[in-house]
């Protein structure tokens, strides 16, 4: 079965995602689609607005055949780690033919060329990159400038400064490093009222914009034009049971608790807590009444919102540098199944022969350090839920079986 793989967050799944999904299947002539999706916490260091099982249902109702989880230790990381975890998971299935991602550029040749030049991070790239970082610019900016220098092509900076181009480049890099047979393809991302006459600004909006509308209005109806009816139905169900919407605000007391009870020396052991950032966090804490205020007071040109959000996430989850190293030492060491369709069941049957790592449909007794972090993330996410739901939801990793549609 010709199979396309997609890397997603679906936070929440909207019409733009449906467009990408449909086009990806069409353009790659795929008969089946495998989705690898972040779990409870996302690449930018945020909690997902709805839990992973709800988002799995959205994906399946749209037509996805198999939904796999990107382990937490890759999902809530910089673009390089995120792309590696997602790509390696798709690759490990042994049945994915194409990886189709959205990008601002839509030009797979340019992205591939850049990837081939960057695979070994040549000296000129590394020198410029280090110099730019030392100047105090952010990681993505430094990366873009180093790439432009390497290619002798000012456009390269644009190619590597748009968020989806960066991810795309990193998918291509990861595939090369893995020696994967998966062929990358890209589709130009649709923007509100842009390019496509059918997908006008009355039907397409970014997930960021949708979340903003949702949270400001408190009503699901505000996003009704922009999402498939199945997304709306799933979210309505989550809302009525008290599991939606989840934002950083619900976790702010836990961030405060963490920072109030740990010494700078203890915080310095956490993943990505470098350059004395622990002191910066502790100094900002007494002046921040909300999560947003904390972030605002931490942000600088050098420390991007995303990097700081991830740092607060690692702090709240108490993920140490050592734990992260141990968890990711072997790459994605299992394939976690979140849900599947009838076709997906067929894919799983094939994967029994082709998969290069164990396929997990339930949490085993012996937990790999990578899986232990998934479970930790899931149980802490449940602290955002109303009191009466918490205990059961904290345990969901143990009782939830894959969603079947």
Residue with Cβ nearer a second copy (240 or 263): 263
Contact with a second copy (CB under 8 A) among 131, 176, 254, 356: 254
Contact with a second copy (CB under 8 A) among 23, 153, 162, 266: 266
- What are the Cα distances from residue 112, in Å, to 37, 128, 188, 248? 23, 21, 15, 36
By the rule CB under 8 A, 253 interacts with a second copy: yes
Indicate the annotated binding residues for ATP.
7-20, 102, 164, 189
By the rule CB under 8 A, 177 interacts with a second copy: no
* Least distance (Å) between residue 254 CB and a second copy: 5
Q: Which stretch binds a second copy (CB under 8 A): 67-75, 109-117, 118-126, 391-399?
A: 391-399
Question: What is the CB neighbour count within 10 angstroms for residue 301?
Answer: 10
* Least distance (Å) between residue 325 CB and a second copy: 14
Token pair in block for residue 66: 């198999």
* Least distance (Å) between residue 304 CB and a second copy: 25
Q: Which stretch binds a second copy (CB under 8 A): 122-130, 183-191, 297-305, 375-383?
A: 375-383
Indicate the annotated binding residues.
7-20, 102, 164, 189
* Least distance (Å) between residue 9 CB and a second copy: 23
By the rule CB under 8 A, 286 interacts with a second copy: yes
By the rule CB under 8 A, 383 interacts with a second copy: yes
By the rule CB under 8 A, 399 interacts with a second copy: no
By the rule CB under 8 A, 379 interacts with a second copy: yes
Contact with a second copy (CB under 8 A) among 261, 342, 353, 366: 261
* Least distance (Å) between residue 387 CB and a second copy: 8
Q: Which stretch binds a second copy (CB under 8 A): 38-46, 196-204, 284-292, 299-307?
A: 284-292
Encoded one letter per residue, x for contact with a second copy by CB under 8 A and - for no contact, window 299-338 reads -----------------xxx----x---------------
By the rule CB under 8 A, 75 interacts with a second copy: no
Q: Which stretch binds a second copy (CB under 8 A): 183-191, 226-234, 260-268, 351-359?
A: 260-268
Token pair in block for residue 81: 């780690």
Q: What angle do CA 209, 210, 216 make, to 5 degrees?
A: 90
Residue with Cβ nearer a second copy (39 or 102): 39
By the rule CB under 8 A, 50 interacts with a second copy: no
Q: How many residues bind a second copy (CB under 8 A)?
A: 25
Return residues touching a second copy (CB under 8 A).
253-254, 256-258, 260-263, 266, 286, 288-289, 316-318, 323, 376, 379-380, 383, 390-391, 394-395
């Amino acid at each position: 079965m010709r199979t396309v793989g997609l890397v997603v967050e679906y936070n929440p799944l909207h019409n733009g995602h449906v467009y990408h999904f449909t086009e990806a299947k069409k353009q790659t002539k795929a008969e089946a689609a495998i989705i690898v999706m972040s779990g409870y916490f996302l690449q930018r260091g945020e909690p997902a607005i709805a839990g992973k099982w709800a988002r799995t249902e959205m994906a399946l109702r749209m037509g996805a055949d198999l939904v796999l989880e990107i382990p937490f230790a890759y999902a809530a990381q910089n673009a390089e780690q995120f792309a590696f975890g997602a790509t390696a998971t798709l690759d490990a299935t042994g049945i994915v033919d194409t990886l189709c991602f959205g990008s601002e550029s839509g030009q797979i040749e340019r992205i591939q060329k850049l990837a081939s030049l960057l695979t070994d991070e040549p000296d000129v790239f590394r020198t410029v990159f280090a110099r730019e970082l030392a100047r105090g610019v952010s990681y993505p900016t430094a990366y873009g400038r180093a790439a432009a220098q390497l290619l002798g092509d000012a456009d390269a900076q644009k190619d590597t400064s748009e968020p989806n181009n960066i991810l795309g480049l990193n998918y291509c890099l990861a595939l090369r490093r893995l020696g994967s047979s998966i062929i990358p393809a890209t589709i130009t991302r649709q923007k509100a009222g842009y390019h496509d006459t059918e997908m006008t600004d009355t039907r397409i909006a970014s997930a960021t914009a949708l979340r903003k509308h949702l949270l400001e209005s408190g009503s699901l109806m505000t996003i009704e034009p922009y999402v498939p009816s199945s997304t709306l139905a799933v979210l309505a169900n989550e809302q009525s049971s008290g599991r939606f919407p989840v934002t950083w605000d619900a976790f702010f007391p836990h961030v405060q608790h963490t920072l109030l009870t740990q010494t700078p020396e203890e915080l310095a052991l956490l993943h990505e807590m470098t350059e004395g950032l622990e002191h910066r966090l502790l100094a900002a804490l007494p002046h921040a009444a909300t999560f947003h205020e904390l972030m605002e007071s931490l942000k600088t040109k050098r420390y991007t919102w995303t990097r700081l959000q991830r740092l607060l996430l690692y702090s709240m989850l108490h993920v140490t540098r050592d734990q992260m190293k141990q968890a990711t030492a072997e790459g994605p060491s299992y394939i976690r199944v979140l849900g599947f369709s009838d076709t997906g069941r067929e894919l799983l049957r094939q994967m029994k022969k082709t998969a290069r790592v164990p396929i997990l449909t339930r949490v085993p007794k012996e937990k790999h350090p990578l899986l232990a972090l998934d479970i930790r993330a899931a149980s802490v996410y449940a602290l955002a839920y109303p009191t009466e739901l918490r205990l059961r939801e904290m345990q969901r990793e143990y009782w939830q079986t894959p969603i079947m549609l």
